[in-house]
Structure 1
Amino acid sequence: MESKFKDIQGDGKVGMSTGDVIEECKLFYLAGQETTSVLLVWTMILLGQNQNWQDRARQEVFHVFGSNKPDFDGLSHLKVVTMILYEVLRLYPPVDFISRTTHKKTQLGKFSLPAGVQVHLPTVLIHRDKELWGDDANEFNPERFSEGVSKATKSQLSFIPFGGGPRICIGQNFAMIEAKLALSLILLHFDFELAPSYAHAPSAPMIRPQYGAPIILQKR
């Protein structure tokens, strides 16, 4: 809003137009709410299909918090939960590709790109590349992140659910805290499994279950 005010004042400084402000507000809504909620949906789907990992995550949450409410300090000690969320983000990243535009002539490896070229990074394909992730790249295996992201893959730039470089998502840490908190509360109070009516059909561009995710909850 401060940048927009500069635009209105016409003081010679670069400010945001009304259109820019509207687009930024749309982005806040999309990136701040939709992506985290979709991450939680896929997490519950995969934990519903993989009960052993649901049990491991629940045991960890009970070990860290016991009968207390989850708190910020405790969330940082949830190693298994973090591994699970990373693996969900690998298999079902928030968007299927990341787009960037060159503003000047750019050398990208052996390719010389003129200004104005739009480059698309296919996140889903990179995250499931067997040369980078191994033969089980299409399988749910949070154990691959047991020693962190750097040891999970053969390339530092092959895990990009939040983008990368100078324009990496500014809200990635907040999103992970939100997801850990929500998942911890669910695990503390419910057992869950996928309903028989679930039909697996990921859809793009924001990768979500096309036909929803019917889940059976049982209160603990």
Structure 2
Amino acid sequence: MPQLTLLSAEYKHWLDGRVIPIVIALLPNFGNTEKEKGGETIMGPLAILVCFSCPILVLGLLAFLNKTLRKPILRQREFNARGIRGPPYKFLFGNAREIQKMKTAAAAKPMSNLSHEIRTRLEPHLATWTEAYGKNFVFWMGPEPILVVTEPELVKVVGNDAEKVYQKLESEGYIKKLFGDGLVTSRGEKWAKMRKLVNHAFQGDSLKSMVPAMVASTQVMLQRWEDHVGEEIEVFEEFSLFTAEVISRTAFGSSYFQGKLVFEGITKLLHLATKNAFNIQIPGFKVYKSKDEIEAEKLEQQIRDVIIAMVTKREEMVTNGDLDSCGSDFLGLLVKARYEDDESKRISVDDVVDECKTFYLTGHETCNILLTWAMLLLSIHTDWQEEARKEVMTHFGSRTPDADGIMKLKTVRN
């Protein structure tokens, strides 16, 4: 029978406002690692290791249970007390698995009719829970609650948020790799500085200067379509290529081809982010990187390398300190901001990288979906299609559209 050594220790650990005493007792003498010396018992290395590791493991387990069990339960009670209900929290994964099942089931069914009411297909969990729990409800992504607010008055309160109560969440994982610390994810003074800078790219004169590039890209697409007259065309893919080309031309100008490389990398990274959107990481148990995470890190670095190469090339174009030679496109605007005399307005190369990625992500997906949906609606409502065509032909005829003429198109613009 192994000799038992009685050890007693109290480890105090501040965990969410509570002191937790831990007593380790009756630690066995593993493999006779203790030696007798002068009537005293001396612990061997293994016993010492176990002695010190046990409290750490216990504390780690308690912290894990606190994050994944105790806190979510307390938070759910608080929400319920305030009249905000929702699907019950499920240990560790929250409602992530339910959401995945709902989305898979919705996507497997063909659309019975074409209409604007597509929420039940795209976001079936939100549609289901809105009906079950009301306009405002809470669901769980892992141990973190997601509060959904659709009541107009409350949305207005959140939107105005003069006291900055509703802060952006810290981005991490794939979202961090996609946006970095760009305009979408940044906060406070940095957000204000970048917002002011980026706004210049979307002022009237700047947008007018982009029209020729947009027209050129449109002509390339239409010419490609002429080779498929009488055949079906996958317009979503076509508009994806089109918007990527427009953004590459307008954002990167002379660096157009490198811009396309950035787009390809971001597209792959976005695919990985979407694929892993509902994968919940177990807190404290991340001991290895998945294949997708390794691939995402490689893509992030490749995108960064391409953008930095473009920035370096633009900087080399600067002659005699004339920053205007950087160009007037979006990249040129960012490069100029790197050399601002006012330090408070100056940005770093990391800021340039993050804003370029953000420009692509926010511009490409939104425009692509908008154009595809507009094409679908015009196909359904042929009267709108005829009216829009008549207006365009009246104003332009066989002429190439320009910025001033586009501003006169009431039907198309509305």
* Common fold: TM-score over 0.5: no
- Which one has more relative contact order, counting CA pairs under 8 Å at least 6 apart? 1
- Greater share of residues in strand: 1
Which protein is bigger by CA-based radius of gyration?
2
Shorter-chain TM-score bucket reads 0.3 to 0.5
TM superposition score normalised by structure 2: 0.21
TM superposition score normalised by structure 1: 0.33
- Greater share of residues in helix: 2
